[in-house]
Chains A and B, each alone.
Chain A
Amino acid sequence: MTQEATFDFVIPARFGPGPGSPRLRGITAVLTREETALPKSPYRFANPFHNARTALWLGLLTVAVAAVLPVTALADDTSAAQAAGVGSDTVWVVVAACFVMFMQAGFAMLEVGFSRMKNVGTVVAKVVTNLSVSSLAYWAVGFGFAFGAGSIFAFIGGSGFFPTFSPGSQLDLPAINFSTSPASAKWFFEFVFCAVSLAIVWGTMIERTKFIVYILFGIPFAAFIYPLISHQLFGGGFLQATLGSQDFAGSTVVHLTGATAGFAGLLLLGPRIGKYEKGRSNAIPGHNMPLAQLGVLILWFGWFGFNPGSTLNATNLHFADVAVVTNLAAAGGAVAALMTIYAITKTMDVGMIGNGAIAALVAITAPSGYVEPWAAIVIGAVAGVIVVVGVLALDKYLDDPVGALPAHGLAGIWGTLSCGLFTVPALAKFNGVGQGGLFYTGSFHQLGAQAIAVAASFITVFVLSYALFWVIRKTVGLRVSAGEEIEGLDISEHGMWGYPESFMPVPGGVYRQPDTPTVNPHRPEPVGGAARREGSPA
């Protein structure tokens, strides 16, 4: 039997409590103790002011605290608790967003590890550039399209463009008004998701794409394509609000969208030189497996912001469950991928284990807020099998250097559909979206809603991305020339290598300036300039 005891500190008129003393509300200490341990006193609590010096210090302390705390926090006990709740929600949302932002490093390392040495500088330059241009585009219009209120709300949002923020300010964001964190925290959290989606696009297209394409595609993607899908499943659009499709943190919104855009780009781009010869698929090994697996672990870490942060709420404590579910799925995926690749090839492939973990994390993203731990392990394990079989099957036809299509596309589809199987009815009610899955309710309703969400998102993103990439290909071109591709994108696009010393005459040397101007024979001609080098090897 426990009892809560509340201590109100009182400022005395003159070293003692009186009926007219101004009560400093809000500074309360909540104790839980055995009832019998409470002091039996005629006064409710012992008077802390029996000693004049103590009273003076306490008085000064409370005045100092009152001067520092915001006035609203002291209005009364209830609003103080609310303010603490808002504070913890906001801290959690912003910290989780920082975790998700760090996933950019994960994508960079994953792509660097799976690239050849001559193409790594361009990857990191691309990641930083993409993060930056998507920030600007998402701030300008993307967030408004995704979450703003508007007249065609079922289709797309339409307010909150070029948003401005002040401390604690809110915007009219109908679907995420349930979260008490301020609009700026929500903006930041939703933006880093957009940046992750854009980062996923390029995993399929590395080692042969022109750098300018990253910018030309990245801006409209962050401004419109991603927000369109984000509005449908996060922002209160038709799929989420009317159909009840569940996507807790974005298996479809973030991962399938990114992978679908990458798929469209890949179809127009074609494979790397040397990938397919005489009808056979050649291996083009990446240069650094430790970096690739560091990328996997950074992504795994970032996912603890990605899924648990999608509660946009710390005070209901749901985020802790989501973190556990996320981790269990990743573990199940890595183990399942290891077993699958060993069963097929009799090797414990280093890259595939990481792919399995990523695919499982992608798959658990949609159901993470809706399922129980045992289901998370099943979902993750199935994703681990899907990614291994998917990589082996797709590699015969599509040159996808990092395996983004199986890991983000196929696993994203599986994860979204898995809500229709494993969602716990009580959690569907808790989150206020859709209903329980097939295994709990015996009804195919939720599975149908999930399938419609997947199909609608895939078709929309594919059509828009294909059109955009097609226009880019017709105007500036998607691909570097064969000569530039063979020389490496670092030197041909950026004029420097990712590992400069290893390509220079003597590692550690000093390089004097040339006495006479010399030119780089591998630097592409300026656009509209003289014809490219002739007879480039292909």
Chain B
Amino acid sequence: MKMVVAIIRHEKLQEVQDVLDECGVSGVTVTEVKGCGAERGYTEKYRGAAVHISLRPRLKVEAVMQGEIVKTVVDKLAAAARTGEVGDGKIFVIGVEDAVRIRTGEHGEDTVRHGARAMWGH
């Protein structure tokens, strides 16, 4: 099992969710975050005074999935979140030891497989 952590632009969320959906990833967690990468902020003016905006708002998308689909998901996700400009974000892949479905007590990969794709409207 792997966890994909993607830092993306706000406006790309819908497309990223569509990709996860398409690949059969069952769940996703989205957090509003602030951070910086290669783009080291920029300057704005607030009532005439310069303000250095060092951290930019982005979304952090976290999804756990079976190991065999990670490569497909990451490739598609990168394509979906891309605008070609500085600040498109990053994708990290992390190993996951176990997963538990709290309601049933199940363990393992089955808990992160997409059981009912119809629920997503596909």
Interface residues of A (CB under 8 A from B): 486, 491, 495-496, 500, 503-505, 511-514, 517-521, 533-537
Contacts and interface: CB of A to CB of B under 8 A. Distances in A.
Interface of B: 9, 11-12, 34, 39-46, 49-55, 57, 83-87
Contacts of B44: 491, 495-496, 520
Nearest to A502: B57
Contact of B85 (A505, A511, A517, A535): A535
Contact of B45 (A495, A503, A521, A533): A495
B83 A517 contact: no
Contacts of A495: 44-45
A503 B41 CA distance: 13
Contact of B83 (A514, A518, A520, A537): A537
Contacts of A521: 39, 42, 85-87
Contact of A500 (B11, B34, B40, B46): B46
Contact of A503 (B49, B57, B83): B57
Contact of B43 (A486, A500, A503, A517): A517
Nearest to A491: B44
Given A513-B51, A521-B42, 17 more contacts: A503-B57, A504-B53, A505-B53, A511-B51, A511-B52, A513-B52, A514-B41, A514-B52, A517-B43, A518-B41, A518-B52, A519-B43, A520-B44, A521-B39, A521-B85, A534-B84, A537-B11
Contacts of B45: 495-496
Contacts of B55: 505
B11 A486 contact: yes
B41 to A, nearest CB: 6
A11 B11 CA distance: 84
A517 B54 CA distance: 12
B57 A518 contact: no
Given A521-B86, A535-B83, A505 B43 contact: no
A486 B53 CA distance: 18
A503 B33 CA distance: 10
A513 B48 CA distance: 12
A495 B57 CA distance: 16
Contacts of B43: 514, 517-520
A520 B46 contact: no
Contacts of B57: 503
Contacts of B83: 535-537
Contact of B42 (A518, A533, A534, A536): A518
A22 B39 CA distance: 89
B52 to A, nearest CB: 4
A503 B54 CA distance: 11
Contacts of B12: 537
Contacts of A504: 51, 53
A440 B113 CA distance: 72
A512 B51 CA distance: 7
Contacts of A496: 44-46
12 contacts: A491-B44, A500-B46, A505-B55, A511-B52, A513-B50, A513-B51, A513-B52, A514-B41, A518-B40, A518-B43, A521-B86, A535-B85
A504 B46 CA distance: 12
Nearest to A534: B84
A500 B49 CA distance: 14
A495 B47 CA distance: 10
Given A486-B11, A514-B43, A535 B50 contact: no
B81 to A, nearest CB: 10
B46 A505 contact: no
A519 B34 contact: no
A188 B41 CA distance: 48
Nearest to A118: B10
A520 B39 CA distance: 11
Contact of A505 (B11, B54, B87): B54
A513 B45 CA distance: 10
Given A496-B46, A520-B44, A512 B85 contact: no
A533 B42 CA distance: 16
Nearest to B12: A537
A536 B84 CA distance: 8
B22 to A, nearest CB: 16
A305 B49 CA distance: 41
A380 B54 CA distance: 53
Nearest to B51: A511
A276 to B, nearest CB: 14
B51 A505 contact: no
A271 to B, nearest CB: 16
A514 B44 CA distance: 10
A517 B41 CA distance: 10
B116 to A, nearest CB: 23
**Most-contacted residue by chain A among B51, B55, B87 (CB, 10 A):** B51
Nearest to B49: A513
A520 B42 contact: yes
Interface centre among A504, A513, A519, by most chain B C-beta atoms within 10 angstroms, is: A504
Nearest to A535: B84
B103 to A, nearest CB: 30
